[in-house]
Amino acid sequence: MSLIVQKFGGSSVKDAERIKNVARIIAETYLKGNDVIVVLSAQGDTTDDLIAKAGEINPHASKREMDMLLSTGEQISVALCAMALEVMGLPVVSLAAWQVGIQSSGVHSDARIRRIDSERVQAELDQHRIVIVTGFQGVDRSGDVTTLGRGGSDTSAVALAAAFRADLCQIFTDVDGVYTTDPRLVPNARKLDEITYDEMLELASQGAQVLHNRSVELAKKFKVNLEVVSSLERKPGTKVKEVTKMMEKTNIAGVAKDTSIARIALVGLQHNPGVAFQVFDLLSKHNINVDVILQSIGREETKDITFTIHKKDQEEAETILNEHRAALRFDHIEADDKIGKVSIVGAGLMSNCGVAAKMFEALYEAGINIQMINTSEIRVSVLLDEEDVNRAVKAIHAKFFDEI
């Protein structure tokens, strides 16, 4: 007997038919003699609809109240799914994150899971019940409901899999696995049979929508046996693991794009020690994540620091930086939200310097200008005009995958 965590995303539970379908998958797993913990997202576009509803009343609602509102989406899903399993005569219980004891930090709308109490879920499993848990949420020290950031249900699932040492964590979605790039954009994108945690982590944090990046971080840390599978078709998905068989002839696992970023440049900073520290310390105190950073020397002993952040943080970042303009002593801010990032990711990048050149060649051939370049051991990212992003993905994908 194994313990299996199964997570179903919003599209997999979007209506009654889909919920019944999900219930059948869960039932099949349970009836094979496994213990099953299920994690669900809100149905379809529920979370977006709730955000829109809030906007009609208060576009600047506090994050606490937003969490109170958004957490209801997942609560609907778990109750409905439990009802579908009840109809099938199976023992089941649905639980909200606060009932489980998914303890989180108190950062509303972006909380981190700190600890998961095991008693309640274990007691239910001991009674041979299927346990269905709300994804995307936790409870903070003061007992308030928090949410984990958009797409956070994947992270809930992996955290539960780690806490209960599950044998397998299956992420069910409406695609049948992880692809070399978004198949809606590039129809001949290929499904990967397996991918390493590191590659998946880079792809997820570079904009591939398949998995929440923090879920992959957790999976790597706790060596969770992770699998991305389709809820609509029965066929093998993509396994995410420590090492994979090297892909033949190609050094990259995939191409990702991200158009949710904005670029901010602080122009005319003093060229003194401590300036970068002051800037990024300030942003981190406001929980603003910074991605690509570039520093360049300007005229007259000044320097410019340019960095990218999520579009949603742009307004706040500009406000905070302007408030501290006297202390930071910069001349002015330049902001641009019409940019995008395209990345290639592959464990083989480390040992093959020709790979980056091949990416730049593809961009050159497509006549696309690069604004900034950033690399890690297994990734090369370029910043481009937002309108060039899709063309860049197609050109790069063709360069790496069409010739094989």
Q: Among residues 370, 100, 222, 199, which one has the least CA distance to residue 211? A: 199
Rounded least distance, CB 382 to Mg ion, Å: 25
Category of 288 on φ-ψ map: left (φ > 0), alpha (ψ -120 to 50) or beta: beta
Q: Which one, 153 or 314, has the nearer CB to ligand ASP?
A: 153
171 and 216 in contact (C-beta within 8 Å)? no
Which 66-95 residues touch ligand ASP, going by CB under 6 A? 73
Distance CA 239, CA 226 (A): 6
Give me the helices (H) in 183-238, please. Answer: 197-205, 213-221
363 and 398 in contact (C-beta within 8 Å)? no
In the list Mg ion, ligand ASP, none, the entry touching 135 (Cβ below 5 to 8 angstroms by class) is ligand ASP
Q: Which region among 84-92, 144-152, 161-169, 340-348 touches ligand ASP (by CB under 6 A)?
A: 144-152
Counting contacts by CB under 6 A, is residue 150 touching ligand ASP?
Answer: yes
277: exposed, middle or buried (Cβ count in 10 Å: 0-12, 13-18, 19+): exposed
Rounded least distance, CB 156 to Mg ion, Å: 11
Q: Which region among 150-158, 178-186, 191-199, 220-228 touches ligand ASP (by CB under 6 A)?
A: 150-158
Counting contacts by CB under 6 A, is residue 197 touching ligand ASP?
Answer: no
Counting contacts by CB under 6 A, is residue 41 touching ligand ASP?
Answer: yes
Rounded least distance, CB 71 to ligand ASP, Å: 9
Which 316-355 residues touch ligand ASP, going by CB under 6 A? none
In the list Mg ion, ligand ASP, none, the entry touching 44 (Cβ below 5 to 8 angstroms by class) is none
Counting contacts by CB under 6 A, is residue 231 touching ligand ASP?
Answer: no
CA dist 35 → 21, 261, 336 (Å)? 19, 41, 50
Q: Which one, 210 or 247, has the nearer CB to ligand ASP?
A: 210
Pairing of strands 302-310, 290-297: antiparallel
Element (H, E) at 296: strand 290-297
287: exposed, middle or buried (Cβ count in 10 Å: 0-12, 13-18, 19+): exposed
In the list ligand ASP, Mg ion, none, the entry touching 324 (Cβ below 5 to 8 angstroms by class) is none
Rounded least distance, CB 152 to ligand ASP, Å: 5
Counting contacts by CB under 6 A, is residue 104 touching ligand ASP?
Answer: no
Q: Residue 24 is encoded by which pair of tokens?
A: 């059948």
Counting contacts by CB under 6 A, is residue 138 touching ligand ASP?
Answer: no
Rounded least distance, CB 50 to ligand ASP, Å: 9
Q: Which of 30, 103, 116, 152 binds ligand ASP (CB under 6 A)?
A: 152
Q: Which of 4, 5, 6, 10 binds ligand ASP (CB under 6 A)?
A: 10
Element (H, E) at 229: strand 226-230
Pairing of strands 130-134, 35-40: parallel
Question: Where does this chain bind ligand ASP (CB under 6 A)?
Answer: 9-10, 41-42, 47, 73, 135-136, 150-153
Question: Where does this chain bind Mg ion (CB under 5 A)?
Answer: 9, 151
